[in-house]
Amino acid sequence: MSELVRKNTWTLGLLALFLVLLAFTKTIQTNFGVSGLESLARAALPFAFATAGMAVVVIVGGIDLSVASIMAVCSVIAAVSMPVVGGVAGILIVLTLGTVMGAINGGVIVATKVPDIVVTLAMLFVWEGVALLILETPGGQASDWLQASIQGSIFIPGLPKALLVIAIVVSVVWLPIRRSQLGLSIYATGSHEIAAFRSGVSVGVTRIWAYSICGLFCGFGGLSLVSLTGIGEPVPGPYLLASVAAVVLGGVVLGGGRGGLLGPIIAVFVLRIIRTILTLAGVDPNITTIIEGTVMVSVVMLAAIFTYRGGRA
Amino acid sequence: MTNVQHSNPILDAASIAKSFGPVRALTDARLRVSAGEIVALLGANGAGKSTFVKILTGALSPDYGRVLIRGKPANVGSPAKARASGLIPVYQEPSLIPDLSVFENLRLSGTSVEPFLEFVTKLGIEDIRLEDEITSLPLATLRILDLGRALASNPQVLLLDELTAALPTDLVENVLKVVREQADAGCGVIYISHRFSEISLLCDRASVLRDGQTVGELVIKPGVEEHVVELMLGAKIDLYQREGLSSALPNSSTPRLSIKSLSAEPKLEDVSFNLYSGEVLGVVALEGQGQDELFEILSGFRRQTSGAIELNGNLVSFAHPADAIAKGLMFVPGDRADALLAERSVHENIALPFSAAGSSWGPLKRRFENERVKHAIEKLQIDTRAQGEVRRLSGGNQQKVTIARWLAKGVETLLLLDPTRGIDVRTKRQIYRLVRELATQGAAVLFYTSELGEIPLACDRTIVIFNGRVVDIIDAKDATEQVLMRAAYGLERQGTEA
Amino acid sequence: MKDTPTVQASVRLGRYLRDNPVIPLIAFLLLLIVALEIMKPGMIMPIRVGRNGIFSTFWIGNLIKFAIPLAMLAACQVLTMLTSGIDLSAGVVATVAAFVCATASPLVGVGPSILIALSAGALVGLVNGIGSGIIRVHPLIMTLGTGLIATGCLQVYQRFVISTGTEIPGFLLWLGTGRTLGMPNGLFLFIPFAIGILGLMRYSGFGRLLFALGSNEHAARLSGVRSWQVLVALYVLSSIIASLAGLLYLGMIRTPSLSLANPLLLPSVAAAVIGGTSIFGGRGSFGGAIVGALILRVIDTLLTLLQMPQGARIMIFGLIILAVTAMYVRITGQR
């Protein structure tokens, strides 16, 4: 038990921080309750999936700047395809294509030997273009039941469905991988590529897998976007910087090899609840955006100071 | 040459050749290891040892030659394939994944836990827990785990590269015992070490590489060290001539540079010496004895953990190379690639320090620069036919550019870290001459070289560093290669010297 | 036997083209213009000898006019890419400068408003420089973040000035929309600017250090260069250039908005990359970037003629960046 606590100090600390912030929210807005929690979880949904995907590629030692664009593509595909082929088929199509887009990112990185950050910067624009080609203006239609699936609470009031969706998806996708040889290879590649190669890991294939998993999470992110608004939105949302910040805040080291997915997802909620607090406190939404941006940039900067000093020692 | 009969070689590598561009790292390397045999692989710095190891372990493919394991071609080409064919290496640097636990590392390479634990216990690490993360373990333990993992993967041939360098004595003893047992059980072992004492205790034979070629295979018996040293050095024809000695012994004045008990992680333990103006002081050390840290501290790339540097009697410390340069200490690193802007011109490379300070960001002072750059180019006789891009120059000319930079800027104390590595004889001679000339003009030069024969040619005195400490100071006139080689291996000087 | 000379010739050709990217680029530009003329005869060379003579100086003037702000933003990318950085806040900074200038002019007058606009831009650059030069955040992440924050600040600022109305300084209008001898007046700003940048890159100590940092930071450090000083100055300079581009663009478009120059960001990166600037640092040419900007404008016209949707354009620009970079890695074997 103490071992478990020691290994997850950072994650537990984040969770405590979140609970403190939640309590603080309750004090400034006494009628903040079940519906507040529900809308918080709903708003966090696309951020959580973008962050989960980003976390996987950061763990393997890369970065994917195109997460928001892939999510945009997925959301328009969902909105366009669902009225035609139905909800379930639409979901399957979206998840498949999301994975394929991730695999393309990884494949291009491995094949061209161009650094991750450059390839995914170019792919950010390519996927954004694809989204606009599919749907020039916001439109399409998501299945009603999909929209309902993230509304309200389930089992007990105060357990938002959206939170359950995040928990189920991330556990079903990530936990089996984490436990498998592939998961081990992902951590090994990110931690020390040469040693991994010497231990018999095929580093290139592992990379492509990691980017594919990221693409799959982006597929879920795209689905959550259509379920939130009911329509497809071709212009990428503000998920890139937010996901990098959440990944870093969640204890995943830029450069790879360390951390998990739970920390970053809790970090998403921490960052989201800051917005809720500011809104409830009556702060101008634009100023809220500035504060949010500053918090995110500061988080990344602090992480850079940390790793830079660590790297030198 | 002693010829040993190999009844049943497990590993048989013959006529291995490998070139990197124009550099021929290996020309004819061979190695045979029989079951139950422990063979030491020896060679001076730059003899091609590390290339040979990379070929044996599958990290590189040879241009020519073959590696057979039990008569079948070893599937070298990737580490995974080399492992599958039964050759298990333990590399010079720890090869466990730092962020994973011990158990996860075993799972990654498909090693069974039971034999691993058995071996590790036998090697003397008893408190190992499988859930411990690699980063939390001390270096010595990691080396044992590396070895344990290799032993537990049923090796037919075990390759141990400088395994004992980071181990305390008691662990070394265990390692030697376990490796011997393993050999007795029918495994072949290739053992690479800088420590003669271990080799004579453990090994049956020694195979010596020189200039990319296997030049001898000896049976280990008392007194064989002398023979090995001879083989490593070879009977070289003396192409060089001494470029002239500085006659005056400089001990009278204040030293230009006085180093006092300098230490730095990981290798530099405690180094003290004086460097006088007008002197070329050699530094002799095997690879990784702390000389890299020493040069990095003196050039401002790194801070010492303890100890002091005095310049002309005043205490100095450098937070940035710019500080060292301001005090006249200029550094030529061991790897030319670290010092050159490969895609920029010769002129730009030499003139770079002129623009370094914030006050010189404005328009370039063309005339001022041209004059000095031209002077430095002429002085060093740099071949400027391909001056548009430094990377198109030959290695020797590239090295001259790195030195010319400081000549143009004006040098007081020159720090040279292996400036003649991999360059032709003519250029080497030019560099010795230049170094001597600088000294005559009053500069102080610290000159590390991996080629021992250079010491009497270019230096006045030399210090010898072993295990991070100065173990000897030798006058140029006494510095024969034998003397230096023995000293570099930490062996006592022979009777007459003392 | 047969292979060797061809290989050598192709290597030599490749090397030549890499050293002189401007020549093949101009050829490519002319090729594109010919293609354009074939697709829509009369656009560039009116059959009727009209008021503009054989060559439509109107069309060419227009091409140049819209390439100028793009080329100026490309200068930001060229300079930062020389040090293996990038400035993704350039588009936002240009917008901020334009918007601040247009809204502050009625309040404080033209001169001070331009000064305020430039300082606002320089402030963003300072933060970029501190973040990427001292704290060592990757410039891509850093500039993306400051761009986001600057957009937020602009939105807040807008609420305070919403009632004041806007005024675009007359000489910016003259620069942006006027023509002299058929050529846009923007050239009066751009030609000295371009000479300045070319001189900075080739004949100044600062320029030399930019190349040095990008081609081998370790070697630069060894030579006594304090890289943080250079990087902070560089990002401030880049933002000032972006602000100038924004002011010029304001004169051209004449309606300040909160996303005025943002769409120019991606093409500015593409123009620099097409122009032979390596995103890995140490190699770059502003001359190439200028031709790159012209090429992108012609491609843009082509795509419009082909009735390509906006999405296809963005996609093509992204693919161009990827392809050119991958080709560079293939040729040089670097990284």
Count of CB pairs separated by less than 8 Å, B with C: 89
B9-233 has which fold? Rossmann fold (3.40.50)
Q: What is the pLDDT of residue C45?
A: 62
The most distant pair of C-alpha atoms in chain A lies apart, rounded to whole Å, by 58
The CA distance from C329 to the nearest CA of chain B, in Å, is 14
How confident is the model at residue C305, as a pLDDT?
84
Q: Is the CB of residue C317 less than 8 Å away from at least one CB of chain A?
A: yes
- Distance (Å, whole) CA B125 – CA B175: 11
**Nearest of A156, A168, A164, A160 to residue A22 by alpha carbon:** A160
Kindly list the residues from chain B whose CB atom is less than 8 angstroms away from the CB atom of residue A190: 99
Domain boundaries, chain B: 9-233, 256-328+411-498, 342-356+364-410
Asked if C182 is an interface residue toward chain A (Cβ–Cβ < 8 A), one would say: no
> Which of chain C's residues have a Cβ under 8 Å away from the Cβ of A125?
266, 314-315, 317-318, 321
Residue of C nearest to B354 (CA): C205
pLDDT digits (tens, 9 = 90+) for B348-363: 999 999 999 888 899 9
Residues of A whose CB is below 8 A from B104: 184, 187
Nearest to A242, CA basis, from A166, A293, A169, A307: A293
Asked whether the beta carbons of residue A133 and residue C319 sit closer than 8 angstroms, the reply is no
- Above 60 in pLDDT, residue A60? yes
Question: Å from C185 to nearest chain B CA?
Answer: 29
Distance separating alpha carbons of residues B226 and C117, to the nearest angstrom: 78
Q: Which amino acid is at B336?
A: R
The DSSP output letter for B245 is: -
Distances (CA, A) of C196 to A149, B425, C200, C207: 60, 47, 6, 11
Judge contact between B118 and B154, C-beta under 8 A: no
Q: How far apart are CA C25 and CA B489, in angstroms?
A: 60
> Which domains, and CATH codes, for chain A?
2-312 (1.10.3470)
Paired strand residues for B218: B206
**Has domain B256-328+411-498 been given CATH number 3.40.50.300?**
yes
Residues C140 and A306 sit within 8 Å (Cβ to Cβ): no
Closest C-alpha among A237, A245, A223 to residue A55: A245
Q: Which CATH class is domain C20-45+52-332?
A: mainly alpha
Closest CA to A162 of A51, A269, A296, A58: A269
Any A CB within 8 A of B99 CB: yes
**Best to test chain C binding among A108, A300, A306 (most C CBs inside 10 Å):** A300
Strand partners, B474: B462
Domains B9-233 and B256-328+411-498 share a fold: yes
- Residue B79's pLDDT is 72
CB contact under 8 A, B95 and A201: no
Mutate to test the interface with C, among A290, A307, A312 (most CBs of C within 10 A): A290
Quote the pLDDT of residue C39: 80
For chain A, the helix, strand and coil percentages under 3-state DSSP, each to the nearest 5 = 75, 0, 20
Q: Is the pLDDT of residue A102 over 90?
A: yes
Tokens 């009777």, located at residue: B495
> What angle, rounded to 10 degrees, do the helices at B481-488 and B224-233 form?
120
Closest CB to C283: pick one of B337, B343, B355: B343
Share of chain C above pLDDT 70, in %: 88
Residues of C in contact with B361 (CB under 8 A): 204-206, 209, 233
Closest Cβ opposite residue A308 in set C136, C145, C315: C136
Over its C-alpha atoms, chain C yields an Rg (Å, rounded) of: 21
Can you list the alpha helix ranges (DSSP code H) found in A29-180? 34-59, 67-85, 87-112, 116-134, 144-148, 161-179
Residue A95 to chain B, least CA–CA distance (Å): 29
Rg (CA), chain B: 25
Please state the rounded mean pLDDT for residues A199-211: 92
Element (H, E) at B175: helix B169-184
Which residues of chain B are modeled with pLDDT < 70?
A: 1-7, 21-23, 45-46, 75-77, 234-252, 493-498
- Residue B36's region, left for phi above 0, alpha for psi from -120 to 50, else beta, is left
Q: Does the distance separating the beta carbons of A113 and C140 come in below 8 Å?
A: no
Residue C224 contacts A, CB cutoff 8 Å: no
| C20: contact with B, CB 8 A cutoff | no
Record: contact A181-B100, CB cut-off 8 A: no
Residue C218 contacts A where some CB pair is shorter than 8 Å: no
CA distances from A228 to A232, B306, B489, C63 (A): 10, 61, 72, 43
How confident is residue A215, by pLDDT bands cut at 50, 70 and 90?
very high
Per-residue pLDDT tens over the stretch C288-298: 999 999 999 99
- Which of A199, A254, A258 to substitute to test the interface with B, most B CBs within 10 Å? A199
Closest to A122 (Cβ–Cβ): which among C146, C309, C318? C318
Q: Which of B79, B100, B131 sits opposite A198 (nearest CB)?
A: B79
- Site from B100, B103, B130, B136 to mutate, A interface, most A CB atoms within 10 angstroms: B100
Closest CA to C101 of C119, C123, C74: C119
Please give the pLDDT value at position B334. 82
Radius of gyration of chain A (CA): 19
Flag if A121 and C153 touch (Cβ within 8 Å): no
Task: Report residue C225: phi and psi, to 5°.
Answer: -85, 130
| Model pLDDT, residue A143 | 79
Q: CA A44 from chain center: how many Å?
A: 10
Which regions in chain C score pLDDT beneath 70? 1-20, 42-56, 332-335
Q: For residue A234, list chain C residues with Cβ-Cβ distance below 8 A.
A: 311
In angstroms, the CA C22 to CA C11 distance is 18
- Interface residue B104 vs chain A (CB under 8 A): yes
Under DSSP, the state recorded for B194 is S
List of chains touching A (3+ CB pairs within 8 A): B, C
